[in-house]
Amino acid sequence: MLQLIHSFRDRNYEVIFASPAQKGDKGINLVKLGVKEVQIELNSPSFNDFIKELQPQIVMFDRFMMEEQFGWRVTENCPNALRILDTEDLHFLRKVRHQQLKKGVAFSTEELLRSVDTKREIASILRCDLSLIISSFELKLLKEIFNTDELLLMHLPFMLDGISEKVTSNWLSFSEREHFVFIGNFFHKPNIDAVLELQKLWPKIRKQLPKAEVHIYGAYVNQQIQQLHKPEQGFIVKGFAESANEVVSKAKVVLAPIRFGAGIKGKLTEAMYCGTPSVTTAIGAEGMHEDLPWNGFIAKLEDDFVDKAVTLYTDKNTWETAQQNGITIINSIYDKQILESNFMDKIDELILNLEKHRTKNFLGSLLQHQTLQSTKYMSKWIEEKNKKETD
C-alpha cells in the first residue's frame, strides 16, 4: 500500500488515506509524505457525507472487507469514481489452506469453490473496475479456476528499485555474516505457524551447527511465541525490529518454513534485497520467482529443509550463487519503473473508457445491484441498532 501511495504522489495525485482503524504508535506518518489522513466510521452515514463532498476520481479499497463495507456507499455517492481493489493477497486461499492444514488433509481447489470466503472475495473483485493481484500464481488461479475476466485483473507485485552494484557494494560478505533469522508480523497466523515449525526443525540444524543461532523478529509477539525463547539452545526471540533491513542484512540465511498462506512474502523479497539467501517452502516461494532459480532453496520435506539450511550456511559458493539468483529475481520481476508505468497507463486507460469497460462486466453490475440492496440495508440496520444503544 505504501508503494502505491508513493506511485500516486510521484504523479501529483492528491492522496487521502481514510481508515476506520485506530492508528498504532508504530504507524507510518503519512502526513510527511503529503497524504491527508481521515478517520472514518463503520456502518455510519457520516461516510456518505465525506465521500460525496470529496468526489474522488479514484477509490482504492485495501482488501475486500473494506470494499464490502464501503463499496456500496462509494457506488451510490460517487458513481463515476474508478473503483480499484488492492487484494494484497487472496484471503480465501490463505484461509482454506489453513483449514485444510489443521484437518491434516491435502489442499484442493474443490474446497476453495465451496468456501463462503471465496464467494465473498470473488464477488468483491467482480464489483470493482480493477483488482490488483500481487502473485502470478493467484492471477492464474483466478483466471483458470474461477474464470475471472482478465480485463478486471492486473498483476502488480511489489514495486522495488533495482539492485545495482552500488547496493551490492554495501552488502556484508559470507564470512562477515552470522546466524539465521526469521522476521514477520505475529498478527499474521502463517508467521506464528512458521515459527512453531521452525522450533521443531531447529534442534536438527543446531546439532550440525552448534554455534549457530536463529533470531526471531517481529511485531506483536504473543505468549505462544515468547515461550519459545531458549537462548541456551540458540533459539532467540528478539521481538520488534526497528530496522528489518539492518537485521536481515547482517544474517547469513533467512529461514521461512511457511506451511500455508497466500500472496508474495515480504520477508523473502527483503532477503533478496539485502543479499541474504533463504530456505523456504513451495508455498513460501509461490508466485514470486516465475521460472528463475530461487534465492537459496525451496525445500519439500522437513529433513530436506534442515539439510538445505546447513548447506547454505556452510557452503560459500552455494551461498554466493543463491545471492546472485536473488539479484536476478528482483531486477527481472519487481522493477519499479516498469511496473509503475504499466499501472498508471492502465489507470489512464480505464478513466478514459470507464463506461465502456463497465458494460463488459455484466456480472459486476449485477452484483452491484444486489449488493446495493443487501449490504446497504444490513448496514442501515446496524446504524439504527447503534443509535438505540446510544440512546
Quick check: is 390 in a domain? Answer: no
Confidence label for 154 from pLDDT (cuts 50, 70 and 90):
very high
Q: Which residues pair with 133 in a beta bridge?
A: 155
Q: Quick one: cell of 73?
A: 456507499
- Going by the DSSP 8-state scheme, the letter that residue 240 receives in this structure is -
pLDDT attached to residue 372: 53
Give bridge partners of residue 177 from the DSSP assignment.
none
Of the listed ranges 54-58, 106-110, 168-172, 324-328, the least confidently predicted one is 106-110
Q: Which CATH number goes with the domain that contains 68?
A: 3.40.50.2000
Asked, for residue 38, whether it belongs to a domain, the answer is yes
Is residue 99 located within the same domain as residue 202? no
Q: Which amino acid is at 154?
A: M
**Domain extent for 198:** 165-334
Task: Please indicate, yes or no, if residue 381 is contained in any of the structural domains.
Answer: no
Q: Would 386 be classed as within a structural domain?
A: no
Please tell me whether residues 324 and 181 are part of one structural domain.
yes
Looking at the fold, whether 225 and 357 belong to one and the same domain comes out as no
pTM: 0.90
The structural domain count of the chain equals 2
Do 96 and 110 lie in one domain? The reply is yes
Mean pLDDT value across residues 56-83? 95
For the chain, give the percent of residues with pLDDT over 70.
Answer: 95
Asked if residue 340 has pLDDT above 90, the reply is yes
The answer on 349 and 211 residing in a single domain is no
Q: Are residues 150 and 176 in the same domain?
A: no
CA distance 391 to 387: 6
In a domain, 237, yes or no: yes
Looking at the predicted structure, is the pLDDT value of residue 387 above 80?
no
**Domain co-membership, 76 together with 169:** no
| 14 and 131 housed in the same domain | yes
3 state DSSP class of 235: strand
132 shares a domain with 91: yes
Q: What is the pLDDT of residue 118?
A: 96
* 294 in any annotated domain: yes
For residue 388, the model assigns a pLDDT of 67
Residue 369 lies in a domain: yes
pLDDT band at residue 391 under the 50/70/90 scheme: low
What is the phi-psi region of residue 239: left when phi exceeds 0, alpha when psi lies from -120 to 50, beta otherwise?
A: left
Give the end of a domain, one of 334, 351, 382.
334
Does residue 303 sit in the same domain as residue 357?
no
Return the pLDDT at 367: 76
Whether the pLDDT of residue 373 is over 80: the answer is no
Count of Cβ atoms closer than 10 Å to residue 59 Cβ: 24
Query: What per-residue confidence (pLDDT) applies to 375?
Result: 63
Q: How far apart are CA 298 and CA 296, in angstroms?
A: 7
Clarify whether residues 66 and 77 are in a common domain. yes
Q: 111-133: per-residue pLDDT in tens?
A: 999 999 999 999 999 999 999 99
9 with 78, same domain: the answer is yes
Residue 389 resides in a domain: no
Q: What's the length of the chain?
A: 391
pLDDT at 282: 96
